[in-house]
Amino acid sequence: MNKKTLSALSALMTSVRTSPRILKAKPSINFFLLNYIRRFQVRKVGGQVILHSHLPPLNSRAYARFVDEHLLGKSEGPSHAQIGLTNACPQRCVYCYNRDRTGRRMDPAMILRTIDALREMGVVWIGLTGGEPLLSKEIVEITRHASQDCAVKLFTTGCGLTPGLASDLKGAGLFSVCVSLDHWEAGIHDRGRDYPGAFSEALRAIGIFKSAGLDTCVSAVLSKEMIRTGGTETFLEFLRTLEIDEAWLSETKPSVQAFWNEDLVITEEERRGLAAIQDRWNKRGRMTVNYLGHFEGGDHFGCNAGSKMIYIDAFGEVSPCVFTPLTFGNVRERPVGDIWNDMRSRFAPSSTCFANANFRLFQKHTDGRIPLPPEASRALAREASFSPPARFVRLVNGRRKETG
Ligand code: SF4
């Protein structure tokens, strides 16, 4: 048995100790998980056993809930949620999925109630996003509240971070943090964010989070140009010098009008190329590479927008994921569970990215408002295409014969 398999078995045993009931899952599911875990070097940060930061730590109560409620219990609720704490942000990224969203901000009490409802529905992983979530005065309280039963991850530009705040967030139970960094050249990163000094702010924040003992990642949005010209690995080499725990990669998505363009959407070949880069880098170890298109690819967990993933923006609008400019209702007007049931009845788990496959319908159905209002979102969902579910979903649901 090689070192990789032994390390994967040890990680699997950690998850078995946390949640012995996983042994009741079908052998094909445990075999899938073993093979998936083998693709990573499991890391330990502050007592947490982490595969990558899109999943709760393997030794956490949140992971045990994931096993109980989603693997064995087959919950119809979401497992993953992102919540916008504010839309305010000093930076102005051209690709920001929130740039055209407007409205009246949810107050802290509403955010806490929404988190409670999401937890009841089955959410085990919560991403706090924005805008710049550090601008929320209640971020520590919200993190503490959400961390009780969920793995809480923060997405930030790093602007405004102080050592005291990083330490308070850690004390509140924050699981992991992603600081945004899109290029190894300061000028290019700053221009993309229309914010001189964004690069140095990000590096400063990374240092502070690391000193606080937090699991520290970089969230990078890869441009089509970087992917096409082979710059991804140059970028990863740079990120490795920062001694971060994980590079969380995604590519620009067609979630805002400027990117509703065939030429700007990643091809399947490019997605596979990035997934191969991830596997290659993770074999080497030292820094985890976690590319969204690997996790969400057809061989793994697939696209679960609206079927396991939910996004509630800072104004309370409910979307299938952060990258889908749709709303199926506002938590001020309807319980989030009702909105979820409505949205879920219109979405199917898919082996390809819903946004990439259906962005032309965003163009067709918009009247200029982003997100598209509920009626337009429902009409769009009726026309949308969904590819067959990804391998993991097929195994869990047993809907199709596994051909793997
Ligand atoms: S629509 Fe795309 S970005 Fe959103 S959850 Fe699906 S795969 Fe991920």
pLDDT at residue 401 tops 80: no
The confidence band for 350, taking pLDDT boundaries of 50, 70 and 90, is very high
Atom of ligand 1 nearest to the CA of 309: 5
pLDDT at residue 399 tops 70: no
Please tell me if the CB atom of residue 359 comes closer than 6 angstroms to any atom of ligand 1.
Answer: no
Of 68, 59, 1, 6, nearest to 37 (Cα)? 6
Range 295-324 average pLDDT: 98
Tell me, what's the pLDDT at 9? 80
Query: Which tens digits make up the pLDDT trace of 152-202?
Result: 999 999 999 999 999 999 999 999 999 999 999 999 999 999 999 999 999
Range 234-239 average pLDDT: 98
Please tell me if the CB atom of residue 354 comes closer than 6 angstroms to any atom of ligand 1.
Answer: yes
Q: Which residue in this structure is represented by tokens 């982003």?
A: 370
The confidence band for 404, taking pLDDT boundaries of 50, 70 and 90, is very low
CA of 19 to the centre of ligand 1 (A): 28
Q: 3-state DSSP call for residue 191? A: helix
Asked if 304 and 310 count as a contact pair (C-beta separation under 8 A), the reply is no
Q: Which residue in this structure is represented by tokens 């055209």?
A: 100
Atom of ligand 1 nearest to the CA of 322: 4
Atom 6, ligand 1: which residue's CA is nearest?
Answer: 303
Strand extents, DSSP E, 292-398:
309-312, 318-319
Range 81-107 average pLDDT: 95
Tell me, what's the pLDDT at 1? 63
Tell me, what's the pLDDT at 12? 79
Asked if 51 and 40 count as a contact pair (C-beta separation under 8 A), the reply is yes
Show the tokens assigned to 314.
Answer: 């800072």
Atom 8, ligand 1: which residue's CA is nearest?
Answer: 303
Show the tokens assigned to 86.
Answer: 């504010």
CA of 309 to the centre of ligand 1 (A): 9
Tell me, what's the pLDDT at 13? 86
What is the chain's mean pLDDT, rounded? 95
Range 297-321 average pLDDT: 98
Please tell me if the CB atom of residue 323 comes closer than 6 angstroms to any atom of ligand 1.
Answer: yes
pLDDT at residue 226 tops 80: yes
CA of 3 to the centre of ligand 1 (A): 33
Spatial CB neighbours of 347, under 8 Å, sequence gap ≥ 6:
305, 306, 307, 320, 354, 381, 386
The confidence band for 286, taking pLDDT boundaries of 50, 70 and 90, is confident
Q: 3-state DSSP call for residue 394? A: helix
Atom 2, ligand 1: which residue's CA is nearest?
Answer: 353
pLDDT at residue 400 tops 90: no
The shares of helix, strand and coil residues in the chain, as percent rounded to the nearest 5, are 45, 15, 40
Please tell me if the CB atom of residue 296 comes closer than 6 angstroms to any atom of ligand 1.
Answer: yes
Tell me, what's the pLDDT at 301? 97
Show the tokens assigned to 67.
Answer: 């096993």
The more confident residue out of 383 and 286 is 383
The confidence band for 4, taking pLDDT boundaries of 50, 70 and 90, is low
pLDDT at residue 402 tops 80: no
Atom 3, ligand 1: which residue's CA is nearest?
Answer: 323
- Provide the β-strand partners of residue 246: 217, 288
Calculate ∠ Cα 62-353-75, nearest 5°: 35
The CA distances from residue 197 to 220, 245, 268, 315, 403, in Å, are 17, 23, 35, 29, 51
